[in-house]
Amino acid sequence: GNSVTQMEGPVTLSEEAFLTINCTYTATGYPSLFWYVQYPGEGLQLLLKATKADDKGSNKGFEATYRKETTSFHLEKGSVQVSDSAVYFCALSDGSSNTGKLIFGQGTTLQVKP
């Protein structure tokens, strides 16, 4: 069945460091891919998404490219801030891009130190 695998955390970085959180997936068909972020004490928020191969999603300085050949959707940011500290979830939709069920990775905790 469909699944998502994320790198284990926590990831601890200094402010202004480069961030990569790896995400790979297994899916039949052509899923849409998402990154969600969960700040402490809050619900999940959609960070970015990509609906087809080679699409690049971007938001708030974060970006991820849908790589079908490597079945990956790695999250990157060039310069992290303390305010980026949160848990990041990679997910795929195995139905239509918006109404289908979401399958989540296990989440990666990012800690950014000043």
Q: Kindly list the residues in this chain that would bind other proteins in the complex (CB under 8 A).
A: 4, 36, 41-46, 89, 96, 98-99, 101-107
Q: Which is nearer to other proteins, 80 or 103 (CB)?
A: 103
Burial class (CB in 10 A: 0-12, 13-18, 19+), 51: middle
Q: What does the alpha-carbon distance between residue 11 and residue 87 come to, in Å, rounded to a whole number? A: 10
Q: Which is nearer to other proteins, 5 or 17 (CB)?
A: 5
Rounded to the nearest whole angstrom, what is the least distance from the CB of residue 18 to other proteins in the complex? 25
Rounded to the nearest whole angstrom, what is the least distance from the CB of residue 61 to other proteins in the complex? 21
